[in-house]
């Protein structure tokens, strides 16, 4: 069956880097647990054996992990998971049966110590499980029902700061057994089948940019994703790559890899880039959240961050979400920025961004404030005040994470009053979620919501970009954030256009 660690699907996992042979998994500040749900999966009736050759490159241990059932939210609920943790002189066997956060079994077997590569694994023969180190059985136990679906998903786990290199994963029937063990790969989406004309061609006639938020991982590992993106859109937004935590994980270290990949692709394809986001209260690095800051210190940190990030992409990122979600109801949200710096942090952020790239368009971005309500009133007051004070603000981002059939009302009115302040608007994060399995009716309702939002933007002369938060349901953030909801984007999991796609196209085609 070959070396399962060479399967390209591993590159789709966050924290995984492919190597010439196999792949490495590295953790940042928290545990890095990888489960390859789309890659090779073992299917067996009864007996099987699977072994991984690995080396702990950093930290105390690294685990080869087998999932009997895929994880949900919370991570342990209903999840059958076995970590075989290699600790250098011992192998820890940690098994969660899905009933709680504490493992059902947690034992450790001493094993011949190695400083380099080691081969560890598991063999099942009937109801018996054997733990393997260098091909030797080091322990035997009754199977507590680890693989209720007759399959094992492959993965890995490392504690904070650690890294493990998996050279090789081999699976098969135990020697001398006749069982069939199949390795299945979830089929790839395949080639993108374009619909003509593309959304970007249709949008071109209106002078409105049509964009999608992009994640660097599928961009690297899923060719269909990149194809669909290039074909349909003329703008990309950085979904996570430029958030404070991901891009600036340590005080003196920036990690540009993901953002560079996205910006490079955009440049090669003549696409605009929206940078998201400089100041937010989520996805902050630990060093910011846990630091003890004086006002001046935090101002210095934020200044350095903004001029470094904006400066690096000067002339290449045409618009920035400078401040994200700073309003809560009718007041400024209680965040580390507000508490430590005071309300002036917003003005400062815009000034510093402008100083670093005077040509970039600078936006304030928020959710739940697309139409007319208390929150959009507060945002209106905020940006009106900024205009009055002569601050370099060019527009307001309307996120537009909405429910099928429930597009907010009076969006046009809100866009108009912002236009009267001389501000543009961008629809920055459009997705339209559906509860449960999407029926034809739900998809039709969703399509109408997409069409309505697109028509509202096209009708407002100051709405200059329409950006969906992803492109395909295959990689949407919705199921992770709103359990039970999904199917929120115009392309389905297999990159097939949904009614929502055609509705967007219709809106762009005009009346
Ligand atoms: C989301 C991303 O899509 C997820 O991948 C990430 O885990 C959490 O953040 N409003 C925003 C975006 O401004 O940055 C959020 O993006 C979605 C809500």
Digit-coded pLDDT (tens) for 241-273: 999 999 999 999 999 999 999 999 999 999 999
pLDDT exceeds cutoff 60 at 481: yes
* 324 Cβ closer than 6 Å to some ligand 1 atom: yes
DSSP assignment, residue 491?
B
- What distance in angstroms lies between residue 466's CA and the mean position of ligand 1's atoms? 17
Taking the C-alpha atoms of residue 474 and residue 494, their distance in angstroms, rounded to an integer, is 7
| 438 contacts 487 by C-beta, under 8 angstroms | yes
Tell which residue, 415, 418, 421, 420, has the closest CA to residue 466.
Answer: 415
pLDDT band at 90 (very low <50, low <70, confident <90, very high): very high
Kindly report each contact of residues 264-270 with a partner whose C-beta sits within 8 Å and lies 24 or more positions away, as own/partner: 265/214, 265/219, 265/226, 265/229, 265/230, 265/236, 266/235, 266/236, 267/316, 269/230, 270/234
Angle between helices 440-459 and 411-420 (to 10 degrees): 20
Q: Read off the pLDDT of each residue in 308-328 and give the average, rounded to a whole number.
A: 98
If you average pLDDT over residues 38-55, what whole number do you get? 91
The owner of tokens 């060479």 is 6
**Cα–ligand 1 centroid distance for 45 (angstroms):** 41
Active site residues: 325, 429
CB 360 within 8 A of CB 310: yes
Sign of CA dihedral 50, 51, 57, 63: positive
* Ligand 1 centroid distance, CA of 476 (Å): 10
Check if 394 has its Cβ closer than 6 Å to any atom of ligand 1: no
- Contact (CB, 8 A) for 64 and 141: no
436 in Cβ contact with 484 (< 8 Å): yes
Q: What is the pLDDT of residues 161-219, one digit of tens each?
A: 999 999 999 998 877 666 667 776 655 557 899 999 999 999 988 889 999 999 998 89
d(CA 220, CA 198): 23
Nearest CA to ligand 1 atom 5: 477
User: What is the DSSP annotation of 403-419?
Assistant: ETT-PPS-HHHHHHHHH
Atom of ligand 1 nearest to the CA of 365: 13
| Percent of the chain residues past pLDDT 70, beyond the cut | 97
Is the beta carbon of 476 within 6 A of some atom in ligand 1?
no
HSE, CB side, 13 Å, CA atoms: give it for residue 236.
29
Residue 179 backbone dihedrals phi, psi, to 5 degrees: -55, 155
Residue 264 DSSP symbol: H
Q: Pick from 377, 219, 349: which is nearest to 279 by CA?
A: 349
DSSP for 133-171, written as a single string:
ETTEEEEEEE--S--TTSEEEEEEEE-TT-EEEEEEEEE
**Nearest 10 degrees: Cα torsion 466, 470, 473, 476:** -130
Whether 238 lines ligand 1, by a CB cut-off of 6 Å, is no
The DSSP bridge pattern shows strands 272-279 and 319-324 to be parallel
Per-residue pLDDT for 122 more than 90? yes
Expressed in angstroms and rounded, the spacing between residue 98 Cα and the centre of ligand 1 is 28
Question: Cα-Cα-Cα-Cα dihedral of 280, 283, 284, 290, to 10°?
Answer: 120
482 C-beta closer than 6 A to ligand 1 = no
User: For residues 233 and 271, is the Cβ–Cβ distance under 8 A?
Assistant: yes
Distance CA 154, CA 201 (A): 42
3-state SS of 167-223? EEEEEECCCCCCCCEEEEECCCCCCCCCCCCCHHHHHHCCCCEEEEEECHHHHHHCH
Percent of the chain with pLDDT over 90: 85
Which one of 214, 239, 283 would you pick to mutate in the ligand 1 pocket, going by the greatest count of ligand atoms within 8 A of its CB?
239
Structure-block tokens of residue 256: 């540009």
Q: Which atom of ligand 1 is the closest one to the Cα of 401?
A: 18
Query: What is the token pair recorded at 429?
Result: 């994060």
């Amino acid at each position: 069956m070959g070396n399962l660690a060479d399967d390209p699907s591993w590159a789709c996992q966050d924290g995984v880097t492919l190597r010439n042979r196999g792949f490495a998994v590295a953790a940042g500040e928290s545990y890095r647990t990888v489960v390859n749900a789309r890659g090779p999966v073992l299917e067996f009736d009864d007996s099987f054996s699977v072994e991984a050759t690995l080396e702990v490159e950093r930290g105390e241990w690294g685990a080869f992990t087998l999932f009997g059932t895929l994880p949900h939210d919370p991570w342990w609920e209903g999840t059958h998971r076995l970590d075989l943790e290699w600790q250098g002189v011992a192998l820890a066997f940690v098994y969660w049966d899905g009933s709680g956060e504490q493992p059902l079994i947690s034992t450790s077997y001493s094993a011949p110590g190695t400083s380099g590569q080691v081969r560890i694994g598991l063999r099942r023969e009937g109801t018996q499980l054997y733990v393997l180190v260098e091909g030797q059985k080091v322990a035997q136990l009754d199977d507590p029902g680890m693989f209720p679906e007759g399959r094992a998903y492959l993965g890995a786990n490392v504690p904070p700061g650690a890294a493990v290199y998996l050279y090789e994963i081999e699976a098969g029937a135990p020697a001398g057994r006749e069982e069939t063990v199949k390795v299945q790969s979830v089929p790839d989406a395949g080639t993108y089948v374009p619909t003509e004309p593309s959304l970007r061609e249709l949008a071109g006639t209106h002078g409105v940019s049509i964009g999608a938020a992009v994640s660097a991982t599928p961009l690297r590992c899923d060719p269909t994703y990149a194809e669909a993106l290039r074909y349909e859109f003329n703008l990309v937004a950085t979904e996570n790559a430029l958030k404070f935590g991901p891009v600036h994980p340590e005080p003196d270290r920036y990690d540009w890899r993901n953002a560079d990949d996205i910006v490079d692709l955009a440049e090669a394809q003549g696409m605009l880039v929206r940078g998201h986001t400089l100041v937010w209260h989520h996805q902050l690095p630990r060093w910011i959240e846990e630091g003890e800051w004086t006002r001046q210190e935090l101002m210095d940190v934020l200044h350095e961050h903004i001029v470094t990030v904006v400066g690096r992409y000067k002339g290449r990122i045409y618009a920035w979400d400078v401040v994200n979600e700073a309003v809560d109801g009718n007041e400024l949200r209680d965040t580390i920025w507000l508490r430590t710096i005071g309300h002036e942090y917003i003005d400062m952020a815009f000034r510093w961004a402008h100083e670093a790239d005077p040509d970039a368009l600078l936006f304030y971005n928020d959710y739940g404030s697309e139409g007319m309500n208390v929150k959009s009133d507060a945002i209106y007051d905020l940006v009106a005040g900024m205009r009055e004070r002569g601050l370099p603000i060019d527009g307001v981002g309307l996120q537009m994470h909405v429910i099928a059939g429930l597009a907010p009302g009076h969006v046009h009115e809100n866009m108009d009053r912002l236009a009267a302040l001389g501000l543009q608007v961008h629809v920055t994060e459009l997705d339209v979620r559906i509860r449960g399995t999407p029926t034809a009716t739900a998809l039709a309702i969703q399509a109408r919501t997409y069409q309505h939002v697109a028509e509202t933007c096209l009708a407002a002369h100051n709405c200059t970009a329409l950006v969906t938060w992803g492109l395909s349901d295959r990689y949407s953030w919705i199921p992770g954030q709103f359990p039970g909801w999904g199917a929120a984007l115009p392309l389905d999991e297999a990159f097939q256009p949904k009614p929502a796609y055609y509705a967007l196209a219709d809106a762009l085609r005009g009346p």
